A and B are shown apart, each in its own frame.
Chain A
């Protein structure tokens, strides 16, 4: 049966068809839909782990126990999971193990545009890169076969334009696999120096064998045309761009970005007059080819930043101009009307505090008019950085850390333990909206549901903080900005580590209907405009509230100094 399918769903389908039993993942755009779709398949187990390191460890455990397993994450998630990755390369697998990593060139939804291909090379783990949905499904199945054949984890890399595009796929049956027997093999699975020294040798031998093998693998192929001048080396979505931009050039399509099929590419290079490597982000393939003496061009023609496109590639060869974009006001994403984060940032801005922010919907507290966030680096960094601010200023800095509930459980809690242990007296605000909002509302350990949608035990954030040694803990309603202000003033005045949990479910999930806010006799002071609520705008005679957007959070009611904003029923 043919189906037009999102690549991430095709990857889930590939895992299903390959007989994968266990999948563990942490959400992250553009990888999230893999786990979400896999969870819908029958006869499989899928879970949200609290972070990517745990996800890879879970998948590795399942693999060693004898099942085929998968872990999925976005590019920066692989930084978090790098520790198990590098040593899983040494242990190898029992059941096949595949780790999917989704890069985001152009940073559609990310804080950097790192290139994950280097992880494969430095961990000595093969990495496959599909160009579209149908290849993605097939590559996943191949990855499991290779994982078991070569006793190695296998990485699959996709980029946003592959992950979030739909293509036509052909559905196949699931291969039902019995659990492989687990046999104790401490020399393989206990990586202490004496064993690891020997396994490193095995890894190198495997690498050599794979480097040979990929030269004849079908997913690496040369496509010759009648033209002889130019040969292009490319992989992933860039291959699709090249096929449209330069339909007449010879193409070497790389399916295994690690190990690269170097001998096959050398042979291809000999048949063309000029070799050009076209790749997004780093000169990963270009450098590898130059290192083995293959003359080629690449980044002299293309940028290290952002995405390529059919047009950019065509232009690099023809020199033609691209149609220019009109300069119009930008439309940045904003916190939704009724977002419980808004009032918190209004208060922090008002109190002129330095805010060590974190990653999630609340990062939008950085944009005007709230403009309340000073730093945002990676998940969990708010807590560590706030501690660093305090230490650098001998405790004098007026700063608070702000983190979301999912992010706190991901990697904020370790920072909190550090702050308690090393006594910095930071104030940490946990914005508990009962969901992983930014990535599209995934469950996490404190929501009471699991990925399969079943009820699950709840990790209580307040008890967790107390167990970490926090004595000064306050819980407030995020919509009650006066209470938030009082709590922040109290917490920042104390020399002890203090935590404020601001609770209120994400406005997009809260289906309860509250009375909307109405305007009476607006004095046009502009105070409520400082909230940056998309439901509030300036009209002819004072402000107007868009009833279709207002959800009745009443944060603006609390902000208005003249009592002009009231609940509609009043």
Chain B
């Protein structure tokens, strides 16, 4: 079985680390894995998406529209931007954070209202979490990505012990405790 994961957010939100942890998880589980990320321009506060595919034998490094089992959206608007990547019965996991894009800051465009309601009505399975708050509870908002991973682990029925090991191996030693706490909070939340 192949698991297709799409991670979307805003440059600087830590989406790359999230995909690296999932990649580590795949290696620890002795699975094939491909990740795809875009560097460069988008780092400067633009939309970023990274793709993770785990399974027996993976060919394409990118997930396609209608092909994701789960989407981890680090920001609400970004979840709306990529929700068409989800499979019919896929899960949309949304961090309830709002980051205004420049056209909305300048007033040239409106940040859509009622996004949460729209998502709930248009996607079969949506899960909202306040990952940033939970991360702060664990000790740092930088661990938002790890909170999200905790939730993914539960929602996708991934191997919890191995995921924790992957988290522990991917973060600096001194932040290990903090991140494992963040992971646990994300896990319990959903």
User: What is the CB-to-nearest-CB distance from B41 to chain A, in angstroms, rounded to a whole number?
Assistant: 5
Assess whether B42 is interfacial by the CB under 8 Å rule: yes
Assess whether B14 is interfacial by the CB under 8 Å rule: no
Q: What does the 1/0 interface line of B93-132 toward A look like (CB < 8 Å)?
A: 0000000111111111111100000000000000000000
Which single member of B27, B41, B67 contacts A310 (CB below 8 Å)? B67
**Total A-B pairs in contact (CB under 8 Å)?**
163
Give the contacts of B62-114 with A (CB-CB under 8 A).
62, 64-67, 77-78, 80-85, 100-112
Q: With the chains together, A369 CA to B104 CA distance in Å?
A: 11
Q: With the chains together, A275 CA to B180 CA distance in Å?
A: 53
Contact A334–B44 (Cβ < 8 Å): yes
Residues of A within 8 A of B83 (CB): 326
Give how many A residues have a beta carbon under 8 Å from the other chain's beta carbons.
55
Contact B39–A536 (Cβ < 8 Å): no
Among A3, A243, A326, chain B packs the most CB atoms within 10 A around the CB of: A326
Which single member of B40, B80, B84 contacts A109 (CB below 8 Å)? B40
Assess whether B60 is interfacial by the CB under 8 Å rule: yes
Q: With the chains together, A241 CA to B10 CA distance in Å?
A: 27
Q: Which stretch in A138-146, A162-170, A195-203 binds the other chain?
A: A162-170
Q: With the chains together, A538 CA to B107 CA distance in Å?
A: 9
Residues of B within 8 A of A329 (CB): 77, 101, 103-104, 109-112
Contact B44–A364 (Cβ < 8 Å): yes
User: What is the CB-to-nearest-CB distance from A110 to chain B, in angstroms, rounded to a whole number?
Assistant: 9
Assess whether B158 is interfacial by the CB under 8 Å rule: no
Among B11, B82, B106, B107, chain A packs the most CB atoms within 10 A around the CB of: B106
Contact B59–A240 (Cβ < 8 Å): yes
Residues of B within 8 A of A369 (CB): 106
Contact B33–A333 (Cβ < 8 Å): no
Residues of B within 8 A of A331 (CB): 10, 45-47, 77-78, 81, 101-102
Residues of A within 8 A of B46 (CB): 331-334
A132-B34 contact given A109-B40, A326-B84, A331-B101, CB 8 Å threshold: yes
Contact A2–B27 (Cβ < 8 Å): yes
A164-B39 contact given A240-B60, A328-B112, CB 8 Å threshold: yes
Q: With the chains together, A446 CA to B48 CA distance in Å?
A: 31
User: Closest residue of chain B to A131, judged by CB?
Assistant: B59
Assess whether B148 is interfacial by the CB under 8 Å rule: no
User: What is the CB-to-nearest-CB distance from A524 to chain B, in angstroms, rounded to a whole number?
Assistant: 12
Q: With the chains together, A336 CA to B104 CA distance in Å?
A: 16
Which single member of B39, B40, B84, B106 contacts A323 (CB below 8 Å)? B84
Assess whether A335 is interfacial by the CB under 8 Å rule: yes
Which single member of B39, B60, B105, B107 contacts A534 (CB below 8 Å)? B105
Contact B39–A361 (Cβ < 8 Å): no
Contact A325–B61 (Cβ < 8 Å): no
Give the contacts of B9-58 with A (CB-CB under 8 A).
10-11, 23-24, 26-27, 32-47
User: What is the CB-to-nearest-CB distance from B78 to chain A, in angstroms, rounded to a whole number?
Assistant: 7
Give the contacts of A392-447 with B (CB-CB under 8 A).
438-440
Contact B105–A536 (Cβ < 8 Å): yes
Contact B106–A529 (Cβ < 8 Å): yes
Residues of B within 8 A of A361 (CB): 44
Give the contacts of A22-67 with B (CB-CB under 8 A).
29-30, 32-33
Residues of B within 8 A of A319 (CB): none
Contact B40–A161 (Cβ < 8 Å): no
Assess whether A547 is interfacial by the CB under 8 Å rule: no
Q: With the chains together, A368 CA to B101 CA distance in Å?
A: 12
Residues of A within 8 A of B112 (CB): 328-329
Assess whether A237 is interfacial by the CB under 8 Å rule: yes
User: What is the CB-to-nearest-CB distance from A235 to chain B, in angstroms, rounded to a whole number?
Assistant: 14
Assess whether A367 is interfacial by the CB under 8 Å rule: yes
Among A160, A322, A331, A336, chain B packs the most CB atoms within 10 A around the CB of: A331
Among A161, A162, A323, chain B packs the most CB atoms within 10 A around the CB of: A323
Nearest 8 interchain pairs by C-beta:
A109-B40, A165-B61, A333-B46, A29-B40, A333-B44, A331-B101, A311-B64, A166-B35
Given contacts A108-B38, A331-B45, could you give 10 more A-B pairs where the C-beta distance is less than 8 Å? Answer: A4-B35, A30-B40, A33-B39, A165-B35, A165-B37, A322-B66, A329-B104, A331-B10, A332-B101, A369-B106
**Measuring CB to CB, which residues of chain B are less than 8 angstroms from any residue of chain A?**
10-11, 23-24, 26-27, 32-47, 59-62, 64-67, 77-78, 80-85, 100-112
Q: Can you list 11 A-B pairs, Cβ within 8 angstroms, ordered by A? A: A240-B59, A240-B61, A241-B59, A322-B84, A325-B65, A329-B112, A331-B77, A332-B101, A534-B45, A537-B100, A538-B105
